Amino acid sequence: MSSNLKKIKDTAEPGRRSFLSKLWLGLGLVVFAESIGVVFAFLRPRKPRTSEGGFGSIITAGPVGDFEPNSVTAIVRGHFYLACLEDGGFLALSRKCTHLGCTVPWDSKNNQFTCPCHASVFDIKGNVISPPAPRALDIYPVTIENEIIKVDTRKPIRRSEFRPEQVMYAKRI
Amino acid sequence: MTYNLNGFFSRIRHSIIRGPVYPQTEQECKRIITDSLILHFRPRTVPEPALKFSLTWGLGGMALVLVMLLALTGILLKFVYVPLPGKAYESILVLQNEVWFGQLIRNIHHWCANLLVIVVFLHMLRVFFTGAFHSPRRFNWIIGLFLLFFVLISNFTGYLLPWDQLAFWAITICTGMVEYIPGVGTWLQKMLRSGPEIGPAALLMFYTFHTAILPVCLLICMAFHFWRVRKAGGVIIPASLDDQSDTKPGYVPTIPNLVLRELTVALVLVAFILVFSILFDAPLESPANPGMSPNPAKAPWYFMGIQELLMHFHPVFAVLIIPVLVTGTLILLPYLTYQSNRRTGGVWFFSRKGRRMGIVAAITALVITPPAIITDEYFMNFTASIPGLPTLISNGFFPAAIILAGITGFHRLIKRKYNASTNETIQTLFILLLVSFIILTVTGIWFRGPGMALTWPWNPELSSS
């Protein structure tokens, strides 16, 4: 009788024991996963602080009349170039090369952007003339109110190539 | 009273040093040796052939010495360096101009870090070419790859810290490469840069990785690595040349035979580093200017091979597919099926045939790679010659397929010509790729000038920029 009881105990206990140890193991894994989640959330990039009128805010580039057609002006505080196309339309081009992120200088002699890092070449509209850059320069939305050009540098717009609807025109009176 | 005081001091002494300080008898001598701390890390005796310098070239020991030098100089640098974009460059100037031996400490840290990459890489080659990656050393090869990875990442994170033009743009380019990883690229790049552009958060993160996380990772992997060396029975020793005699090699005491040799290598290395650091200053360019990329802007030299790949392949191939394939192959290397039943561990290049095939592979790579670079640079434009296809196919898939076909053809040819074993064939292909990679790296470092155009290293344009 007593040996029989022991037998039942022996078979019953391992089940309970293994269940409990699995439970502990599971809890341990949950703790581990939570900690990983906390670490990643902690390290998540914060929104960079932007000063009014600096990169990451809405920047006033100037009155329409200040820009000659077929010219490119660097707006240094906004990290972009304001391109005035031949027909008087405006494009705000990011200065970041789409290949690996170098800053592209405007070469006014040849009327093109030439990246110093891997020799990508872009035209005044930001289109790729020569690879390795895979797509046209990013643009920022341009608005023109009362003949004053404003550029929203909060988020660049990725594009594969130039299209006419990206250009902003001042209303002719 | 005197007696009591003596007893008091001897109690203190015995609590610190367990054995007698000045051994009188032979018994005591032996006890000191077996109790000593050194023999906690080293076996009591080592096989005599293991002492031969040309077996290992002392590269593992050198790596350890360099890591220790890096830790010591790195801690000193932490007393002066400020990880803030406005202050970092200034603190380097203070270090160099106002702190006693500041320039020297920075130079030692800089040159040790660069030499460590070379030494660790050569150590990997030594292990491969002496066949020291088969069982029971298989997993230690993997740990070694992790160590190589951590050394590279440590170097890379340290590269940004001076916050000069060189640092800023090298890190911009390298984190720019990450963007091309399909799916997670943009997210990963944002994590690495702690934002859309490299700024204060990125510098602080690189600093934390460089000075806290990576040293701990390195330390853990190193301890594991050394322990597995001990468990595998020490460094690999060539089997006796005539297969019949199975005589065990003679054993000699570790102290002084091995320890003295290690000390000698360490001291020569330290002396070399010191002289080199006195003669050559670590580079420091003008402060970082996010508005102006220098021309040319290059990655750190150990990533120049990948940057050179970028000149020839679509980025997805250059920064993802090719590196992943190479890393995967390196990881699988010890687990492939090798048909040799001969004990060949410890023999350089496996066999005489292996050596001959290796020379053929090295010459092939030397003859083919430079013309391939020049052809792709000036005469061949995959994107233009195959219009209507995405560049991923025309400038990625096609050149990769051509190279793969070339490697397969070479493999067939050499296998048939030499009737070689798997060990010899794999070693030959390894040499082919290794030499090609070294040529790509050398091209990137010395043969790329302004606008990343091919140029001669002695071109005055390069030195003036």
Helices B185-193, B200-208: crossing angle, 10 deg rounding: 80
Identify whether residues B25 and B92 lie together within a single domain.
no
Residue ranges making up the domain that contains B220 = 46-236+246-303
The CATH number linked to B141 is: 1.20.810.10
Q: Hey, which residues does A82 pair with through a beta bridge? A: A73, A92
Element (H, E) at A130: strand A128-130
A interface test, pick of B293, B303, B376 with most A CB neighbours within 10 Å:
B293
Tokens of B189: 């790049």
Whether B173 and A100 lie within 8 Å, measured CB to CB: yes
B interface test, pick of A39, A77, A98, A100 with most B CB neighbours within 10 Å:
A100
| Interfacial B residues in 301-330 facing A (CB < 8 Å) | 310-311, 314-315
Neighbours of B284 (CB within 10 A): 20
- Confirm or reject contact between B205 and chain A (CB < 8 A): yes
Using a CB–CB cut-off of 8 Å, the residues of A that contact B are 43-46, 48, 76, 79, 95, 99-105, 114-119, 131-132, 134
Residue from the list B195, B199, B391 with its beta carbon closest to the beta carbon of A134? B391
Minimal C-alpha gap between A20 and chain B (Å): 32
Model ipTM value: 0.75
Taking the C-alpha atoms of residue A100 and residue B178, their distance in angstroms, rounded to an integer, is: 9
Whether A118 and B196 lie within 8 Å, measured CB to CB: no
List chain A residues with CB under 8 Å of B310: 100, 118, 132
Minimal C-alpha gap between A90 and chain B (Å): 22
Tell me how many residue pairs between chain A and chain B have CB atoms under 8 A apart: 78
At residue A79, does pLDDT exceed 70?
yes
- Confirm or reject contact between B387 and chain A (CB < 8 A): no
Identify whether residues B222 and B360 lie together within a single domain.
no
Minimal C-alpha gap between A55 and chain B (Å): 11
Nearest Cα residue in chain B from A99? B176
Taking the C-alpha atoms of residue B170 and residue A101, their distance in angstroms, rounded to an integer, is: 11
Whether A99 and B172 lie within 8 Å, measured CB to CB: no
B200, part of any domain: yes
List chain B residues with CB under 8 Å of A132: 310-311, 315
- Confirm or reject contact between B394 and chain A (CB < 8 A): no
Q: Hey, which residues does B362 pair with through a beta bridge? A: none
Residue from the list B190, B395, B452 with its beta carbon closest to the beta carbon of A117? B452
B55, part of any domain: yes
* Cα-Cα-Cα-Cα dihedral sign, residues B422, B427, B432, B436: positive
Residue from the list A102, A105, A119 with its beta carbon closest to the beta carbon of B453? A119
Nearest Cα residue in chain B from A156? B196
Whether A132 and B315 lie within 8 Å, measured CB to CB: yes
Identify whether residues B20 and B110 lie together within a single domain.
no
- Confirm or reject contact between B295 and chain A (CB < 8 A): yes
List chain B residues with CB under 8 Å of A110: none
Residue from the list B176, B190, B296 with its beta carbon closest to the beta carbon of A45? B190
Whether B175 and A115 lie within 8 Å, measured CB to CB: no
Neighbours of B386 (CB within 10 A): 13
A134 pLDDT band (50/70/90 cuts)? confident
Nearest Cα residue in chain B from A119? B451
Tokens of B271: 């002396």
B288, part of any domain: yes
> What pTM does this model have?
0.85
Interstrand relation of A71-75 and A106-107 (parallel, antiparallel or unpaired): unpaired
Minimal C-alpha gap between A98 and chain B (Å): 9
Tokens of A113: 């952007």
Is the backbone peptide bond immediately before A132 cis, with ω within 30 degrees of 0?
yes
Identify whether residues B299 and B316 lie together within a single domain.
no
List chain A residues with CB under 8 Å of B311: 118, 132
Tokens of B150: 């951590």
| B232-260 pLDDT tens trace | 888 888 765 544 455 566 888 887 888 88
Tokens of B388: 């209507």
B87, part of any domain: yes
- Please count the helices (runs of H) and the strands (runs of E) in chain B: 22, 2
Q: Tell me if B65 sits within 8 A of B222, measured CB to CB.
A: no
CB-based contacts of B237, cutoff 8 Å, min separation 6: B47, B49, B50, B55, B249, B345, B346
B199, part of any domain: yes
Residue from the list B172, B191, B293 with its beta carbon closest to the beta carbon of A45? B191
Taking the C-alpha atoms of residue A134 and residue B119, their distance in angstroms, rounded to an integer, is: 37
Q: Which residues of B67-85 are buried (b: 16+ CB within 10 A; e: fewer)?
A: bebbeebbebbeebbebeb
Residue B423 one-letter amino acid: N
Q: Hey, which residues does A91 pair with through a beta bridge? A: A83
Report the number of distinct structural domains present in chain B.
3
List chain A residues with CB under 8 Å of B297: 102, 116-117
pLDDT the model gives residue A155: 81
pLDDT tens digit at each of 465 positions of chain B = 556 777 888 888 888 876 666 777 777 777 776 667 777 778 888 888 888 888 889 999 999 999 999 999 999 999 999 999 889 999 999 999 999 999 999 999 999 999 999 999 999 999 999 888 888 889 999 999 999 999 999 999 999 999 999 899 889 888 888 888 888 888 888 888 887 788 888 899 999 999 999 999 999 999 999 999 988 888 888 765 544 455 566 888 887 888 889 999 999 999 999 999 999 999 888 888 888 888 777 888 998 888 888 888 887 888 888 999 999 999 999 898 887 655 667 778 888 888 888 899 999 999 988 888 888 877 776 666 666 777 777 777 888 888 899 999 998 888 888 888 888 888 899 999 999 999 999 998 888 887 777 888 776 654 443
Identify whether residues B36 and B52 lie together within a single domain.
no
| C-alpha torsion B418→B421→B424→B426, nearest 10 | 110
Identify whether residues B297 and B372 lie together within a single domain.
no
Q: Tell me if A98 sits within 8 A of A133, measured CB to CB.
A: yes
Q: Tell me if B415 sits within 8 A of B259, measured CB to CB.
A: no
Q: Which of B263, B282, B303 finishes a domain?
A: B303
Taking the C-alpha atoms of residue B251 and residue B269, their distance in angstroms, rounded to an integer, is: 27
List chain B residues with CB under 8 Å of A114: 451
Identify whether residues B128 and B81 lie together within a single domain.
yes
Identify whether residues B77 and B198 lie together within a single domain.
yes
Q: Tell me if B259 sits within 8 A of B170, measured CB to CB.
A: no
> Alpha helix (H) ranges present in chain A?
2-43
Identify whether residues B257 and B381 lie together within a single domain.
no
B interface test, pick of A42, A117, A120, A121 with most B CB neighbours within 10 Å:
A117
Element (H, E) at B89: helix B85-97
Minimal C-alpha gap between B389 and chain A (Å): 13
Whether B391 and A131 lie within 8 Å, measured CB to CB: yes
- Confirm or reject contact between B455 and chain A (CB < 8 A): no
B241, part of any domain: no
Q: Tell me if B62 sits within 8 A of B118, measured CB to CB.
A: no
Identify whether residues B252 and B354 lie together within a single domain.
no
Identify whether residues B209 and B258 lie together within a single domain.
yes
Minimal C-alpha gap between B358 and chain A (Å): 34
At residue A9, does pLDDT exceed 60?
no
What's the Cα-to-Cα distance from A25 to each of A15, A16, A20, A36, A153, rounded to whole Å?
A: 15, 14, 9, 17, 49
Whether A102 and B191 lie within 8 Å, measured CB to CB: no
Identify whether residues B32 and B84 lie together within a single domain.
no
B407, part of any domain: yes
pLDDT the model gives residue B465: 38
B133, part of any domain: yes
List chain A residues with CB under 8 Å of B190: 45
Q: Which of B303, B323, B345 finishes a domain?
A: B303
What's the Cα-to-Cα distance from B31 to each of B13, B19, B52, B198, B445, rounded to whole Å?
A: 17, 7, 28, 58, 55
